[in-house]
Amino acid sequence: MQTDSSFTFVLFGGTGDLSMRKILPALYEAHRAGMLAPSGKIFAVARHIDGREQYLQWVNEHVRPHVSKARFAEDAWRAFLDRIDFVGIDLGKAEDFVLLRDAVANLPGTRVFYLATGPSLFVPICRALASVGLNQNSRIVLEKPLGYDLRSSNAINDAVGEIFAEDQIYRIDHYLGKEPVQNLLALRFGNALFEPLWRRDWVESIQITIAEELGVEARGDFYDNTGALRDMVQNHLLQLLSIVAMEPPHSMDSDSVRDEKLRVLRALKPIDPRDISRVAVRGQYHAGVIRGTAVPAYANEPGVRPESTTETFVALKAEIDNWRWAGVPFFLRTGKRLADRVAEIVVNFRPVPHSALGATALRAGANRLVIRLQPNETIRLYCLAKKPGEGMNLSSVHLDLAFDQFFREGQMEAYQRLLLDVINGRLALFVRRDEQEAAWRWVEPILNEWAASGTRPKPYAAGTWGPAAASAMLAQHNTCWLEEEN
């Protein structure tokens, strides 16, 4: 489906890593699939490029390698490059924004300003846009991190909110655009099978994991002032939790969906600082081996302070104080330099209360739904079945929802979906300000306690699944992480 109308897409940070790896490849995919209006234009904004021809050369060298070879077509690529223009301005000079205004002033349709820059530039860019009248008939996309804590987040939101209305602001979280997350909504709210089971009576625990094999790469300076709790938990993990636990919205319009997510975030049980050592584990990777390659310790990464106490791993137990979920533990986990790259949601259903088929039928692990977000996007339901042969011997089997086998059309990447939603003015998959504030309020006591205690993160070897304390936390609830059971 093509975008609703013409548009002008202005990309600040046009030579940055995010633009190279995600944004421009996603726009190319949308273009190749015929999803962008023919009159739509893309403007890149950067400093160290000398004109459009040099920028297109940069795109060919740095963006093209991140486009799927299976989906690359030379004629589509050339036509995509024809959409792209370039404006060289210094973001620190408000007067330079006159050049941008003159470039886009007479173009039809909605303007989208994507701020793929550091958060310190969000407010200056917005003010400069307003100074030349570009905050009208426009939308602004803000990348994470939006602040360092609740206070700094509110300061950014207050300043941007003076220039753009809330329905013009798109706070992006790319996990919300992933196909399995969309299918989780369809699974829950489109099928009578799951709704009666989606509650404390039948769910024993829920795990949400985002694990990375990579370290901090070239982001040591940024990451050492951020850490895993701010970088991943406050946004991605809590957004996934709210999708899993939300009540059915009365419709799929933007405010209905986000109202229900907000209710979940506000129902998160506050963590008493005295309990943080029991329900929150922080770790930092040491040297190790990943897939046969030796990797350095976090403290030896470029840009990282040798004495750093920044966490690269977090595991948390969260609880939701409402009628549906009271007493069900939600285990959240994220980390760098772990054993595998995986993002998944694991719903562990309670075993049957009594079995005439033997002890095997009482295992909780046999009654499980696994929603895999990456690297391969699948939904898998585990249940018990009789093994062929004599006797009633049971074995765990699974039913797969394999999107690539069932649907002929290819899956849409998360950024592609979200960029099309921005262009078309659909807000449901973007984070509203009150959601963001509720997430910060829940996370801040943990940050404050860690800062006050001065204790170092627990060490773990690169290539493992994190500190042993993360496993011990689940053992207190007579359960384990999914890979430990397998």
Question: What pLDDT was estimated at residue 92?
Answer: 84
pLDDT tens track for 165-222: 999 999 999 999 988 888 888 888 888 888 889 999 999 999 999 999 999 988 888 8
- 3-state helix/strand/coil string of 30-47: HHHCCCCCCCCEEEEEEC
Q: Which residues of 66-82 are buried (b: 16+ CB within 10 A; e: fewer)?
A: ebeeeeeeeebbeebbe
**Residue 236 appears among annotated catalytic residues:** yes
CATH number for the domain formed by residue range(s) 178-411+439-485: 3.30.360.10
Q: What is the mean pLDDT of residues 290-316?
A: 95
pLDDT tens track for 423-468: 999 999 999 999 999 999 999 999 999 999 888 999 999 999 999 9
Q: Strand, coil or helix: what is 66? A: helix
Kindly give the pairing relationship between strand 138-142 and strand 169-171: parallel
Q: What is the mean pLDDT of residues 70-84?
A: 93
Residue 174 φ/ψ, nearest 5 degrees: -65, -20
Q: Do domains 7-143 and 178-411+439-485 have the same CATH topology?
A: no
Identity of residue 71: R
CB 123 within 8 A of CB 159: yes
Q: Which residues are annotated as a binding site?
A: 47, 90-91, 144, 174, 178, 212, 231, 336
Q: Which residues are annotated as a binding site for NADP(+)?
A: 47, 90-91, 144
pLDDT tens track for 94-123: 889 999 999 998 898 899 999 999 888 999
Burial of 411 (0-12, 13-18, 19+ CB in 10 A): middle
pLDDT classification of 399: cutoffs 50, 70, 90: confident
More confident residue, 222 or 77: 77
- The reported pTM is 0.92
Identity of residue 88: G
Q: How far apart are CA 206 and CA 450, in angstroms?
A: 25
Question: What pLDDT was estimated at residue 410?
Answer: 65
3-state helix, strand, coil in the chain (%, to 5): 40, 20, 35
CA end-to-end span of the chain: 42
Q: What is the mean pLDDT of residues 319-340?
A: 97
Domain boundaries, given as residue ranges, for the chain: 7-143, 178-411+439-485
CATH class of the domain at 7-143: alpha beta
CB 39 within 8 A of CB 4: no
Residue of 48, 62, 236, 250 marked catalytic: 236
